[in-house]
Amino acid sequence: MAIFLKVKIRHADNIRIEGADVYQTVNITPWEAALGEKINVSTPAGTLAVTVPKNSKSGSNLRLKGKGIPAKQAGDLYLTLNIVNPDISTEAATQAYEQLKQAFADINISR
């Protein structure tokens, strides 16, 4: 006699599973991307400390080998970075953005 189980995995909208690999979008702040900060990421396997590489761009991918679905051969976790600008809700935040604007006045961004 054999028993077959069908397992359905529920996951958040920012997570996609392909085989044993997990693809997850992670929101980060502009300074975490620019400075290369350490962030905590909530994953299906628990919270992981991840270092964002300095000068990361939105859409960049980080691969965490073996941190996907546990299996005979564990899958990988792929994090896609999504840079999110915080709302400007205080005068101090407005001034901080004005200082950034002045500091990067000579930068030419192609559009």
- According to DSSP, the residues that pair with 28 across neighbouring strands are 83
Query: Are residues 96 and 102 in contact, defined by beta-carbon separation less than 8 angstroms?
Result: no
Q: CA–CA separation, 96 vs 101, rounded Å?
A: 9
Q: Which residue has the tokens 């500091």?
A: 103
Query: Are residues 26 and 48 in contact, defined by beta-carbon separation less than 8 angstroms?
Result: no
Interval 41-100: pLDDT, tens: 987 678 999 999 999 999 999 999 999 888 888 899 999 999 999 999 999 999 999 999
Say if 93 falls within a structural domain: yes
Q: What is the CATH number of the domain that holds 91?
A: 2.60.260.20
| Predicted model pTM | 0.79
Query: Are residues 20 and 73 in contact, defined by beta-carbon separation less than 8 angstroms?
Result: yes
Number of folded domains that form the chain = 1
* Domain of 81, in residue numbers: 15-103
